[in-house]
Amino acid sequence: MTSSKPKKSLLARILKWTGISLLLIILLLIAAPFIFKDKIVALVKEQANANLNAKVDFGDFDLSLISSFPDFRFKIQKVSVIGIDDFKDDTLAYIGELSTDINLKSVLNGGPYQINSIVIDKARILGKVLKSGVANWDIAKPSTDTISEVAADTSAPTKFALKLKEFKITEAYIVYDDQKGNMYAKLENFNYSINGDFTQDIFVMKNLMDIAKTTFKMDGVAYLNEVHTKMKADLDMDMLQSKYTFKENEFSLNDLTLGFDGYVLMPDTNIDMDLKFGAKQTEFKAILSLIPSVYSKDFASVKTSGKIALDGHAKGRYNASQLPAFGVNLSIVNAMFKYPSLPKSVDKINIDVKVLNPTGVLDATTVDINKFHIEMAGNPIDIVAHIKTPISDPGINTNIKGLINLASVKDFVPLEKGDNLSGTIKADISADGHMSAIDKKEFDKFNASGAFEIDQMNYKTSTLPYEVKLNTMKLNFTTQYVELAAFDALMGKSDIRASGRIDNLLQYIFKDDLIKGTFALNSNLMDLNELMASDSTAATTATVAVDSTATTGVFAVPANYDFNLDAKINKVLYTNLVLENMVGNIVVRDQKVDMTNLRMNVIGGALTINGYYETTNIKKPTVGMNLKMENFDIQTTFKTFNSVKKLAPIGEYAKGMFTASLENFKTSLNDKMEPDLNAVDAHGVFKTNKVSVGGFPPFVKLGEALKIEQLKNMDVDNVNAKYAIKNGRLYLEPFDVKIAGINTNISGSTGLDQTIDYTYKMEIPRSMFGGAANKVLDGLMAQANAKAGTNITLGEKIKVNVSMGGTVTKPTIKTGMKGEEGQPSVISTVTTQALNAGIDKANEEAQKILEDAKVQVDRLKAEAKTLSDKTKQEGYANADRLVEEASNPIAKMAAKKGAELAKKEVDKKAQQILDEADVRGKKILDDAKVKADAKAAESKK
């Protein structure tokens, strides 16, 4: 009989080892993320910052294996890419969470690291191109390899291998701001996903996209404004030929859905294509949905009729120097729309537009608006236009005619609550000819005529804090110029009347050339605070759309404006200023505003400005000016201007009127339009007949030091002081003045940090010192006469030298007294020469003490530098040796981590040696200064 015991024993061993193996696998799944976490994180940061001209960082991160086996799932929170140089502090990208799946086996093998999926959640991305053409995403560092090295090592393995099975973006916010191309795009709540087997050579890539709001502007014109955009497209991906063919697809803009057919082939730097698109609907309502003022919450109930046809194509090659042939056709026939809740409709909409380029050469493009007719509540608009050779020599044949009663707009389009519109607009404009005729001033070969008029227009909206009343505006068009025959408007409390002419208008419109104008402007009141309130709101919204560092307070001067403006404005309100009787010439040219003899009355006085404001660099605008101020009130000036508070703090304690000039004032401004006073190099003159100063801390301290109460609250007479502003300080050249009746010579400086450094040379009458002080002076004089064997009497005026230091709020005062000219000082005797010799010797000894101390400090710091360098050299060598001696990958990884920490400690120790030397050196110098001062003071006694 066979026993079953061996079978049970075998089964038990199988179960035992199976259980142990399963346990080991589970432990590995749990432990692996912790083993490799630091390695992957360090690699990501190292690779990013080593290869990018940007600062890359992220917050919390998580690495797991169980939920994504056999892949690592790596999640990073708050990923940020911040620019440097031209884009300093601009956030190129911020990602709420970045999730990637990385193949486990590729990590265990040490690379290349295979990435299978990427999910980006809640990203905010800013793409910016400066007017110079520099783009903020061009952050990859150039390779340091030579051409021969690259050619010799084209097979060098990379650390990452992208084999995506999924790519997804959710709830993103993307802005593209191209200042050079004058384009702007904003995508709000952008969701996009790609699915497909990217490991195959031929597969189907499925794309899904949904954008809640899409905005696109070019040259200031909004072509799409918060349009709901959707796309569903399947593409046949032939990776061997780099050919991508459209299959089932739909692309929607609000209610308009387009279908695409054809392919894109990208074998090299060229892109070959054969694409066609067409609208899938034929109802007029589909294209009507793209008009922002019509597409509202009530759009579904709008009654429409009429048919549309929209199609286009692009066929040929695209590269840096070539475009494919392309064309777009739009036709709308007998269309209308009407809101059920409104009394009138928009009727007889007939549009025929064709854009054609048969060769791919951009200059071969023709634009034909064969018909554009629309009647809005009975108000007709007709446009016919033909444009050819738009690049080399734009040829234009156009006629625009229309009449709109603005009060009827509310009868066919629902306005926002609180909005109101009235008045009339009338246009009848024709143009026929080539731009070259105008450029050559052959005005007989180009015909332009007509007029554009606005009469009694009133506009009120909840988005503006004020009402706009345009009483009249009339533009007369001629071949040579456009005449502004009349302009009379009231915007809130601000009234504007203007006339003049505009040159180069057509060149500006069609060629983006310089636009020129000459105007005369008159106004009784310009309330810039009210007018800029709406701009601030708009700027705040725009700032959120771009990034947190965008400037909101800087006014940008357009580059292609050349305007000459003679202004006469009775009153201007700006921040806390009231400017009256403003008269002068203002020229806007080359991103610069020049002001010539711009005169005005402000804070009770008269101000004349000659200068400029320039925004060639919008992040750092500059100003330069010469100012003349007459009869300004000191207190009001101090309270109004921050620069006065910083450079002339005495103004807080002074009362009176002054006249001053400021010349060669040049500096940059920050985003609050405040000057960088540290960069100012200017000069001027300050004059006043009489100023009362009371409670100024340095004067109070001076009065206490000299025991003269009159100096604490005093009158300053006949000031005529030359000053200079340089390196963040205001310097006064020596000038004579009377303070509290005392003849005084003043010189010195005040800093932005409120430090003061002044010398007062005063002639104080003995009577101002009081009885006790005079008794002491007489005693000192008697001792001096007795020692010298003379009989000299002290004069009626005592010369006092005062040194003011410290800060405005915590001043320090040092005084020294001399007798009248030709007489001995209070402290000296007739043996002046001997005493002076003793003083000179003491000063030499004091100087020797300071020089010896400096030699000692220099030697101490040199020794510390040698010791610090040796400490770093030995410490780094020891740390690197630990890494070299590591015997396996995990030990080497741990050794690298330890080496990094050890090097940081070595750096701290080396720096500590230098810091200790600095402290010891400072003490040596301080001690020497005390000894030197004591030696000098002892000689003076």
The tens digit of pLDDT for each residue in 443-462 reads 888 898 999 999 999 998 87
Cα dihedral 79, 83, 88, 90, rounded to 10, equals -60
Report angle CA 212, 218, 222 to the nearest 5 degrees.
50
> What is the per-residue DSSP string for 325-370?
EEEEEEEEEEEEEE-TTSS--EEEEEEEEEEEESSS-GGG-EEEEE
The tens digit of pLDDT for each residue in 600-628 reads 998 888 999 999 989 888 878 888 989 99
In three-state form (DSSP H/G/I as H, E/B as E, the rest C), the secondary structure along 809-833 is CCEEEEEEEECCCCCCCCCCCCCHH
729 has a pLDDT exceeding 50: yes
pTM of the complete model beyond 0.75: no
Report angle CA 589, 595, 596 to the nearest 5 degrees.
120
Provide the pLDDT for residue 286. 80
CA distances from 83 to 122, 127, 168, 415, 618 (A): 20, 11, 25, 43, 17
Provide the pLDDT for residue 844. 73
Round to whole Å and give the CA distance between 899 and 901: 5
Round to whole Å and give the CA distance between 42 and 64: 17
Q: Which residue has the tokens 């697809």?
A: 249
Provide the pLDDT for residue 824. 41
Provide the pLDDT for residue 137. 67
Q: Which residue has the tokens 């003349």?
A: 628
Q: Amino acid identity, residue 211?
A: I
Q: CA 116: distance to chain centroid? A: 38
Paired with 796 in beta bridges are: none
Arithmetic mean of pLDDT over the chain: 79
Round to whole Å and give the CA distance between 860 and 854: 10
The three-class DSSP label of residue 903 is helix
Q: Which residue has the tokens 């009394």?
A: 343
The tens digit of pLDDT for each residue in 545-568 reads 333 333 345 677 888 888 899 999
Provide the pLDDT for residue 21. 47
152 has a pLDDT exceeding 70: no
Q: Amino acid identity, residue 397?
A: N
Other beta carbons less than 10 A from residue 819's beta carbon = 21
The tens digit of pLDDT for each residue in 498-544 reads 999 988 877 777 777 788 889 999 999 988 888 876 544 433 333 33
Do 500 and 520 touch, CB atoms closer than 8 A? yes
Round to whole Å and give the CA distance between 653 and 252: 69
CA distances from 150 to 46, 139, 145, 529 (A): 22, 21, 6, 61
Half-sphere exposure of 87 (CA within 13 A, CB side): 27
The candidate with the shortest Cα–Cα distance to 184, out of 134, 141, 222, 232, is: 222
The pairing of beta strand 526-527 with beta strand 561-574: parallel
Q: Which residue has the higher pLDDT, 856 or 389?
A: 389
The candidate with the shortest Cα–Cα distance to 290, out of 308, 275, 277, 314, is: 308
Round to whole Å and give the CA distance between 473 and 475: 7
24: which residues sit within 8 A by CB, 6+ positions away?
A: none
Do 600 and 586 touch, CB atoms closer than 8 A? no
The answer, yes or no, to whether the previous bond of 33 is cis (omega within 30 of 0) is no
Q: Which residue has the higher pLDDT, 215 or 157?
A: 215
The pairing of beta strand 91-103 with beta strand 113-129: antiparallel
841 has a pLDDT exceeding 70: no
The pairing of beta strand 55-57 with beta strand 325-338: unpaired
Round to whole Å and give the CA distance between 802 and 759: 6
734 has a pLDDT exceeding 90: yes
Q: Which two tokens stand for residue 515?
A: 């636009």
Do 481 and 503 touch, CB atoms closer than 8 A? yes
Q: Which long-range contacts (CB under 8 A, 24 or more apart) does 539-545 make?
A: 545/175, 545/186
Cα dihedral 583, 585, 589, 593, rounded to 10, equals -40
Report angle CA 129, 133, 139 to the nearest 5 degrees.
65
Minimum mean pLDDT range among 258-272, 276-290, 453-467: 276-290
Provide the pLDDT for residue 401. 95
Do 351 and 331 touch, CB atoms closer than 8 A? yes
Half-sphere exposure of 222 (CA within 13 A, CB side): 11
